[in-house]
Amino acid sequence: YCYTCETHTPPRCSHCYDCNVCVLRRDHHCVFFGRCVGFRNYRYFLSCLLFMWSGLLYATLMNAEVFIVILKEGLTLHSVLLLLIPWIMLVSG
């Protein structure tokens, strides 16, 4: 029983206070999508992460010449940030 929704819920169901609904097998509330990741949308969440990572890898491979030029000029704080910012943005959101 969920006291917030005041309804009977199945086992392994938990209430999300951000969405204000009960979610079956709730994993977490995703801030990127603004929804809860649970039983019915877990595979879509993982496939979205896979496509984002593959897109970033593709962009990195397509810009490999730029990365090589930056590395040949010498490692400065600016060049390191240019290389790491896309990865940091993907991981941190």
Residue 33 structure tokens = 């999508």
16 is catalytic: no
The answer to whether 69 touches 62, Cβ cutoff 8 Å, is no
Which residue in 22, 30, 36, 48 is the catalytic one? 30
SS3 62: helix
The answer to whether 13 touches 2, Cβ cutoff 8 Å, is yes
Which residues are identified as catalytic? 30
